[in-house]
Amino acid sequence: MNRLQKIVVLLDLIENLQAKGSWCGETHIQKAAYFLQTLFKVPFGYEFVLYRYGPFSFDLSGELVRMKADGLLQSVPTPPFGVRFHPVDESNQLRSQFVRTRQSFEQAIGILTDEIGNKGVKELEKLATVQYIRLGNEEKLLFEEIAEKLTELKPHIGREEAEEAVIMFDSMKKRMTALY
Protein backbone atom coordinates (compact mmCIF):
# COMPACT_ATOMS: atom_id res chain seq x y z
CA MET A 1 0.00 0.00 0.00
CA ASN A 2 1.26 3.46 -0.76
CA ARG A 3 0.86 6.33 1.69
CA LEU A 4 -2.30 7.75 0.11
CA GLN A 5 -3.98 4.34 0.13
CA LYS A 6 -3.13 3.95 3.82
CA ILE A 7 -4.54 7.39 4.52
CA VAL A 8 -7.90 6.71 2.85
CA VAL A 9 -8.24 3.40 4.69
CA LEU A 10 -7.44 5.16 7.98
CA LEU A 11 -9.97 7.90 7.21
CA ASP A 12 -12.64 5.28 6.51
CA LEU A 13 -11.68 3.44 9.69
CA ILE A 14 -11.98 6.60 11.80
CA GLU A 15 -15.33 7.50 10.24
CA ASN A 16 -16.67 3.98 10.87
CA LEU A 17 -15.41 3.95 14.45
CA GLN A 18 -17.27 7.21 15.09
CA ALA A 19 -20.43 5.84 13.50
CA LYS A 20 -20.28 2.88 15.90
CA GLY A 21 -19.96 5.07 18.98
CA SER A 22 -16.19 5.14 19.43
CA TRP A 23 -14.53 7.98 21.31
CA CYS A 24 -12.01 7.90 18.46
CA GLY A 25 -8.93 9.03 20.30
CA GLU A 26 -5.49 7.93 19.21
CA THR A 27 -5.59 4.78 21.35
CA HIS A 28 -8.83 3.68 19.67
CA ILE A 29 -7.34 4.28 16.23
CA GLN A 30 -4.11 2.50 17.16
CA LYS A 31 -5.92 -0.62 18.36
CA ALA A 32 -8.31 -0.66 15.40
CA ALA A 33 -5.44 -0.33 12.91
CA TYR A 34 -3.56 -3.06 14.79
CA PHE A 35 -6.54 -5.40 14.47
CA LEU A 36 -6.99 -4.54 10.78
CA GLN A 37 -3.34 -5.30 10.11
CA THR A 38 -3.04 -8.47 12.20
CA LEU A 39 -6.50 -10.05 11.94
CA PHE A 40 -7.65 -8.87 8.51
CA LYS A 41 -4.22 -8.67 6.87
CA VAL A 42 -4.65 -5.04 5.76
CA PRO A 43 -1.12 -4.29 4.49
CA PHE A 44 -0.43 -1.09 6.41
CA GLY A 45 3.10 -2.24 7.19
CA TYR A 46 3.16 -0.52 10.59
CA GLU A 47 5.50 -1.89 13.24
CA PHE A 48 3.76 -2.25 16.59
CA VAL A 49 5.49 -2.50 19.94
CA LEU A 50 3.95 -3.24 23.31
CA TYR A 51 3.45 0.09 25.02
CA ARG A 52 1.48 1.56 27.90
CA TYR A 53 -1.99 0.75 26.54
CA GLY A 54 -1.07 -2.27 24.46
CA PRO A 55 0.29 -2.48 20.92
CA PHE A 56 1.35 0.92 19.59
CA SER A 57 2.90 2.10 16.33
CA PHE A 58 5.03 5.22 16.37
CA ASP A 59 4.78 5.29 12.56
CA LEU A 60 0.98 5.34 12.77
CA SER A 61 1.13 8.07 15.40
CA GLY A 62 3.31 10.13 13.07
CA GLU A 63 0.92 9.47 10.19
CA LEU A 64 -1.99 10.86 12.20
CA VAL A 65 0.05 14.02 12.84
CA ARG A 66 0.82 14.30 9.11
CA MET A 67 -2.84 13.78 8.24
CA LYS A 68 -3.71 16.70 10.52
CA ALA A 69 -0.97 18.83 8.94
CA ASP A 70 -2.25 17.91 5.47
CA GLY A 71 -5.74 19.12 6.42
CA LEU A 72 -7.35 15.66 6.21
CA LEU A 73 -7.96 15.07 9.89
CA GLN A 74 -9.04 17.30 12.74
CA SER A 75 -8.28 16.72 16.40
CA VAL A 76 -10.74 18.17 18.86
CA PRO A 77 -9.55 18.60 22.47
CA THR A 78 -12.22 17.33 24.83
CA PRO A 79 -11.13 18.00 28.42
CA PRO A 80 -10.63 16.19 30.67
CA PHE A 81 -10.55 13.09 28.44
CA GLY A 82 -8.17 14.04 25.64
CA VAL A 83 -8.40 14.47 21.90
CA ARG A 84 -10.95 13.05 19.47
CA PHE A 85 -10.13 12.68 15.78
CA HIS A 86 -12.51 13.50 12.92
CA PRO A 87 -11.99 13.33 9.15
CA VAL A 88 -12.60 16.75 7.63
CA ASP A 89 -14.85 17.31 4.62
CA GLU A 90 -11.82 18.08 2.46
CA SER A 91 -10.71 14.46 2.87
CA ASN A 92 -13.64 13.33 0.71
CA GLN A 93 -11.86 14.54 -2.42
CA LEU A 94 -8.87 12.28 -1.69
CA ARG A 95 -11.12 9.36 -0.77
CA SER A 96 -13.03 9.68 -4.04
CA GLN A 97 -9.79 9.00 -5.92
CA PHE A 98 -9.29 5.61 -4.23
CA VAL A 99 -12.64 3.89 -4.67
CA ARG A 100 -11.16 0.43 -5.34
CA THR A 101 -8.83 0.63 -2.35
CA ARG A 102 -11.71 1.63 -0.12
CA GLN A 103 -13.93 -1.16 -1.47
CA SER A 104 -11.16 -3.71 -0.86
CA PHE A 105 -11.18 -3.00 2.87
CA GLU A 106 -14.77 -1.84 3.42
CA GLN A 107 -15.99 -5.22 4.68
CA ALA A 108 -13.07 -5.69 7.09
CA ILE A 109 -13.54 -2.19 8.50
CA GLY A 110 -17.28 -2.75 8.93
CA ILE A 111 -16.86 -6.09 10.69
CA LEU A 112 -14.13 -4.75 12.97
CA THR A 113 -15.92 -1.54 13.93
CA ASP A 114 -19.11 -3.49 14.67
CA GLU A 115 -17.07 -5.44 17.23
CA ILE A 116 -14.91 -2.73 18.81
CA GLY A 117 -16.60 0.58 18.00
CA ASN A 118 -18.20 0.98 21.41
CA LYS A 119 -15.33 -0.41 23.48
CA GLY A 120 -13.29 1.80 25.79
CA VAL A 121 -9.52 2.11 26.06
CA LYS A 122 -9.16 -0.38 28.93
CA GLU A 123 -11.04 -3.09 27.09
CA LEU A 124 -9.19 -2.43 23.82
CA GLU A 125 -5.87 -2.57 25.68
CA LYS A 126 -6.64 -6.07 26.97
CA LEU A 127 -7.97 -7.40 23.66
CA ALA A 128 -5.11 -6.02 21.58
CA THR A 129 -2.53 -7.26 24.07
CA VAL A 130 -4.02 -10.77 23.88
CA GLN A 131 -3.57 -10.64 20.10
CA TYR A 132 -0.02 -9.32 20.57
CA ILE A 133 0.78 -12.24 22.89
CA ARG A 134 -0.74 -14.75 20.47
CA LEU A 135 1.23 -13.41 17.51
CA GLY A 136 4.46 -13.25 19.47
CA ASN A 137 4.10 -16.92 20.31
CA GLU A 138 2.84 -18.10 16.93
CA GLU A 139 -0.57 -18.67 18.52
CA LYS A 140 0.71 -21.83 20.26
CA LEU A 141 0.06 -20.83 23.86
CA LEU A 142 -2.75 -22.38 25.86
CA PHE A 143 -5.56 -20.30 27.33
CA GLU A 144 -4.00 -20.28 30.82
CA GLU A 145 -0.58 -19.31 29.44
CA ILE A 146 -2.01 -16.35 27.55
CA ALA A 147 -3.88 -15.12 30.64
CA GLU A 148 -0.71 -15.52 32.73
CA LYS A 149 1.40 -13.66 30.15
CA LEU A 150 -1.20 -10.86 30.04
CA THR A 151 -0.96 -10.37 33.81
CA GLU A 152 2.86 -10.40 33.60
CA LEU A 153 2.94 -7.76 30.86
CA LYS A 154 0.12 -5.71 32.37
CA PRO A 155 0.34 -6.03 36.19
CA HIS A 156 -2.73 -3.81 36.65
CA ILE A 157 -4.83 -6.54 35.01
CA GLY A 158 -5.85 -9.24 37.48
CA ARG A 159 -5.95 -12.94 36.66
CA GLU A 160 -9.75 -13.17 36.40
CA GLU A 161 -9.84 -10.07 34.21
CA ALA A 162 -7.09 -11.55 32.02
CA GLU A 163 -9.02 -14.80 31.59
CA GLU A 164 -12.14 -12.83 30.63
CA ALA A 165 -10.08 -10.87 28.08
CA VAL A 166 -8.77 -14.06 26.45
CA ILE A 167 -12.30 -15.48 26.24
CA MET A 168 -13.64 -12.19 24.87
CA PHE A 169 -10.86 -11.91 22.28
CA ASP A 170 -11.26 -15.51 21.11
CA SER A 171 -15.02 -15.03 20.80
CA MET A 172 -14.59 -11.73 18.94
CA LYS A 173 -12.01 -13.26 16.58
CA LYS A 174 -14.27 -16.24 15.89
CA ARG A 175 -17.23 -13.98 15.04
CA MET A 176 -15.12 -11.78 12.77
CA THR A 177 -13.48 -14.75 11.03
CA ALA A 178 -16.91 -16.26 10.32
CA LEU A 179 -17.93 -13.06 8.54
CA TYR A 180 -14.73 -12.36 6.62
pLDDT in tens, 105-116: 999 999 999 999
Assess contact for 38 and 15: CB atoms under 8 A. Answer: no
Residues recorded for the chain: 180
- pLDDT value of position 24: 96
What is the number of structural domains in the chain?
A: 1
Q: What is the pLDDT of residue 139?
A: 72
How distant, in Å, are the alpha carbons of 56, 127, 179 from that of 60? 8, 19, 27
Position 138 scores a pLDDT of: 75
% of the chain surpassing 90 pLDDT? 93
User: Using CB atoms within 10 A of its CB, is residue 111 exposed (0-12), middle (13-18) or buried (19+)?
Assistant: buried
pLDDT at position 79: 87
Measure CA of the first residue to CA of the last residue in the chain; give whole Å.
20
Question: CB–CB of 115/175 below 8 Å?
Answer: yes
Low-confidence ranges of the chain (pLDDT < 50): none
| pLDDT for position 180 | 85
Q: Which domain holds residue 159?
A: 3-179
Query: φ, ψ for residue 83 (rounded to 5)?
Result: -105, 140
**Per-residue model confidence (pLDDT) at position 34:** 99
